Amino acid sequence: MVRVIAIASYPLAQTFVDYMATQGVLLTVKTNDDATEIWLEDETHLDQVLNELNSFLQNPQQHQYRAASWQSGNTTAKLDYERFSYLQVIRSKAGPLTLLVMILAVLVYMLMQLVGDYSVMRWLAWPQHNGQYLQAWRWVSHALLHFSLLHISFNLVWWWYLGGPLEKQLGSAKLFVLAVVSAFFSGWVQSLFSGILFGGLSGVVYALIGYVWLTGERRPMLGLSLPRGIMAFSLLWLVAGYFDLFGLRLANAAHSAGLLLGLLMAFWDTRQRSN
């Protein structure tokens, strides 16, 4: 057997397999966590399959392909052909820790809408006095506090976009350490400027920006990367926050501290791996 192609869509793969069956060529569909693979039983048909595959991918909506599933007795591919699951995309690009933090942040945000910001902050905000210092969760739980729909949406999109691949490539333990350390460090720095009245994942997000970008630059074989244009935009956004150009209340100290920490951790990790 020989693997012909790996594609993301199972219905698309099945449609092509059904079409080739009407041409007398036997193909097999195999699925894994990342993609759907098409395998050819008889390698003597490989050139024919590749030519047909090229035509198919250019216009898979042609009637001859869609009708093939009916001819072969497999209607699943046709009926599900254009179905798309955003939830499946989110899960496919994120590990369990990435998803857990997203769920916790959403639940905390919903609770804040129900009982008020101050009531939730009494339990999750950065410790304010000696009596709260031993409540260990406070040193990181402030990262789950978000004060508007735009605030939580922006942070969770970046957390998923950066944290998901990092967890997939380097493991949940690495993401956990980076998130906890950056939440603590960025929170501590921000508390020096604003007291306890802050919250959000942005300090952690900036740590991820620094870590993913520098790791991709120094050790691209690890599978992490961040386009330089996005890195430049993040720096401009950071500078804009200090000058209050957009009238937004940004935790600038937390952003700067998170970015610096992420860069330092990436430098150390890539240095260690190169020894």
Q: Which residues are catalytic?
A: 202, 255
| 118-157 per-position pLDDT tens digit | 999 999 999 998 889 999 999 999 999 999 999 999 999 9
**How high is the mean pLDDT of the chain?**
85
Higher-pLDDT residue of 36, 110: 110
pLDDT at 79: 38
Q: How confident is the model at residue 250 (pLDDT cuts 50, 70, 90)?
A: low
| 184-194 per-position pLDDT tens digit | 999 999 999 88
Question: Looking at the whole model, is its pTM more than 0.75?
Answer: no
| 63-83 per-position pLDDT tens digit | 777 676 555 555 444 434 445
pLDDT at 71: 58
- DSSP string spanning 119-148? HHHHHHSPP-SHHHHT-TTHHHHGGG---S
| 34-69 per-position pLDDT tens digit | 678 898 988 888 888 888 888 888 887 777 776 765
pLDDT at 15: 85
Torsional class of 247: left (φ above 0), alpha (ψ -120 to 50), beta (otherwise): left
Q: How confident is the model at residue 110 (pLDDT cuts 50, 70, 90)?
A: very high
What are the chain's domains?
Answer: 2-84 (3.30.70.2350), 88-274 (1.20.1540.10)
- Cα four-point dihedral sign 6, 7, 10, 13: negative
pLDDT at 244: 66
Q: How confident is the model at residue 117 (pLDDT cuts 50, 70, 90)?
A: very high
- Compute the average pLDDT of residues 2-9: 82
Q: In degrees to the nearest 10, what's the CA dihedral of 161, 167, 168, 173? A: 180
Q: Which residue has the tokens 């804040």?
A: 112
Quick check: 257 and 190 in contact, CB under 8 A?
A: yes
Q: How confident is the model at residue 273 (pLDDT cuts 50, 70, 90)?
A: low
pLDDT at 102: 96
Q: How confident is the model at residue 263 (pLDDT cuts 50, 70, 90)?
A: very high
Q: How confident is the model at residue 32 (pLDDT cuts 50, 70, 90)?
A: confident
Q: What percent of the chain stands above pLDDT 90?
A: 45
Close Cβ partners of 14 (under 8 Å, ≥ 6 residues apart): 29, 69, 74, 76, 77
29 membership: H or E segment, kind and range:
strand 27-31
Q: Mapping DSSP to helix (H, G, I), strand (E, B) and coil, where does residue 231 land?
A: helix
- Compute the average pLDDT of residues 227-239: 87
Q: How confident is the model at residue 207 (pLDDT cuts 50, 70, 90)?
A: very high
